[in-house]
A and B are shown apart, each in its own frame.
Chain A
Amino acid sequence: MDLTSVLILAGLGAFHGLNPAMGWLFAVALGLQERSRAAVLRALPPIVLGHAGSVLITLALVSVARLAAPPRLISYGVAALVCGFGVWRLVRRRHPRWVGMKVTRWQLAGWSFLMATAHGAGLMVLPITLHAGHGAASLASQSLLATAIHTLSMLATITALAVIVYERLGVAVLRKAWFNLDLVWAVALIGAGASAALT
């Protein structure tokens, strides 16, 4: 995996982490509910694990497909899937509803998995991993490595954001700073899909 890929993976991790809907805001809310910074920090690992699980499953499924189908077909298939999902995100705005404010760690991880999957987090990462890796072992290690880089970057971002908002800024910052990332997100998906077809 080259440096560009690593940087893109890390950048996408930060981009996903930045989105309040991906978990840091939930962690802050749980902390405020219990009036405890420890509760903020406790919420972060399940959120990150759920997100990572969603990305890893997406990459793993495509890796399996790559073992069975010719590369061009995979490239175009992935391009169509990712672009299509981006377009769908443009026209539909739906959020999974599963839990409330009283959550166990597993529910939190499950919620994060659903949110990441519904937003196509794994799909956005997918095109970066398409051109390297051959054979089952190589593909598996690449999927794991890509997920790890993406996840570490996301973890760093949501930890920083959750702590800063909890300790310093307060949630009032949301009123101005919660930009609608849906459009950017959809465009990023379409761009990622296009890059899969063109490279």
Chain B
Amino acid sequence: MALVQPDPTFYPSAREAMLAPREELAYVALLDTAGDGRPDGLATIDLSDGSIVNVHDMSVPGDELHHFGWNVCSAALCPYAPHPHVERRYLVVPGLRSSRIYIFDVKDDPWHPRLVKTIEPETIFAKTGYSRPHTVHCGTDAIYVSALGNVDGDTPGGVFTLDHDTFEPKGRWEADRGTQKLHYDFWWHLGHDTMITSEWGTPNQIEAGPSLELLVGREYGHKLHLWDLTKRRHLQEIDLGDQHQMTLELRPAHDPTKTYGFVNTVINVEDLSANIFTWYLEDGVWKALKTITIPAEPAPADLLPEPLKQFGAVPPLVSDISLTLDDRTLLVSCWGTGELKAYDVSDPFAPRETGSVRLGGIARRDAHPAAPERALNGGPQMVEASRDGRRVYFTNSLYRSWDDVFYPDGISGWMAKVDIADDGSISLDPGFFVDFAADGRRAHQIRLQGGDSSSDSYCFP
């Protein structure tokens, strides 16, 4: 049913979205740990006290839920294709391993999402030729979904769209993919009709776990791709250097007049560091500059899992980043070393570290103040900032087969929160700790009620 006034969660600009009311609940994807027939879940968390209010089990096991998103968002206010009276009420939840997509309705009872549609893998294969859907973004004219590979688990990966109203897959998005083969994340600069995509690896390269051989051979992704968003054509690629293996999360400036953004590379095979690059437009050409390097941390070999023993060090393994809506603070998850870092990126070419908290980590196992006796495993991973840029929530699981290599004792799922102070420093909320140990599943992507810092895009500055 169409609304009379625009959906109250739509904001013309990120600036105005920062004035949104405080989020009361979060949706969190839960991954089955053992892979022995239990389905994944979608948890609803009460953010006032961190209690798990509800967990909806998926219909079948084996999905590996990843970066789910909303059916519509503030991009619906874009002037060239406006549809402001559609409701933000459906969560589009892709299963990365199963290629199944679930649609949940959260309108009637936001605490208990209701499954209203399931798109079966065969439908996605037939309509798009892609498999392994990963990230969902609400676009100006459709729901966009990234896919890691083709039906055989090989290249090319890419983007397909779902109809806004029916959720039916509409087919491949690309009209001309140029040199692009690998795929991971995507987002856009709406003010410049530009899409940007990143590279992880094909399903065949990642599903069995990280391959040392592929890493040493520098065969995981290390490029960015720029696209004409309206003509659906590949414009250019940026090679960040093949030592920088796995270019993952793309965080363009939320201000549509700006032409820069941030991407993390997981591991530099020469020194085990993780890096953040700033991409930018200069004289009509997109370029990228390394702006943050986070070095590996030495650690005794007996604290390290097998593949790391030879190095005597823990790579930071930066796996997710999040940019606050004022384009000021970049949160960086160091899943290996167990650290969440905050940087002031007001000058996108000269980030300044403003804060850090430690939790978990391959060697350190730092505890949370809420349970100071308990050594935590996993580390800050999926990170999501509130719209007002004051609170940051994060979980500790990456991807099942990769979790098991770096945390062979088996990740026990948790979710924590930090507060961002005026000076950009961050501090753990000692009273907020969601423990998924009793449930037994691992926490991954978080979505905050009404929108968050990676759910919406804007056409107005």
Contacts and interface: CB of A to CB of B under 8 A. Distances in A.
Nearest to B231: A100
A95 B136 CA distance: 22
Contacts of A97: 80-81, 140-141
Contacts of A29: 78-79, 459-460
Interface in A77-103: 93, 95-103
Contacts of A174: 6, 12, 77, 84
A157 B459 CA distance: 23
A175 B12 contact: yes
Given A32-B461, A182-B85, A111 B5 contact: no
Contacts of A33: 191, 256-257, 461
B13 interface: yes
A38 B190 CA distance: 21
Contacts of A102: 192-193, 230
A82 to B, nearest CB: 22
B229 interface: yes
Given A101-B193, A175-B6, A182-B2, A95 B12 contact: no
Given A29-B79, A175-B10, A100 B193 contact: yes
Contacts of B79: 20, 25-26, 28-29
Contact of B460 (A21, A99, A111, A171): A171
Given A99-B80, A102-B192, A174-B12, A180 B460 contact: no
B369 interface: no
Most buried by A among B5, B6, B79, B83: B79
A137 to B, nearest CB: 39
A22 B257 CA distance: 23
Nearest to A19: B82
B4 interface: yes
B429 to A, nearest CB: 30
Q: Is the interface of B mostly helix, strand, loop or mixed?
A: loop
A105 interface: no
Contacts of A103: 80
A93 B84 contact: no
Most chain B Cβ neighbours within 10 Å, of A26, A99, A171? A171
B430 interface: no
B81 A93 contact: no
A172 B19 CA distance: 11
Contacts of A179: 4-5
A168 interface: no
B8 interface: yes
B230 A100 contact: yes
B11 interface: yes
25 contacts: A21-B82, A29-B459, A32-B460, A35-B257, A35-B461, A95-B83, A97-B140, A98-B230, A100-B140, A100-B193, A100-B229, A100-B230, A101-B78, A101-B80, A101-B190, A101-B192, A101-B193, A103-B80, A171-B13, A174-B77, A175-B10, A175-B12, A175-B16, A180-B4, A182-B2
Nearest to B257: A33
B3 interface: yes
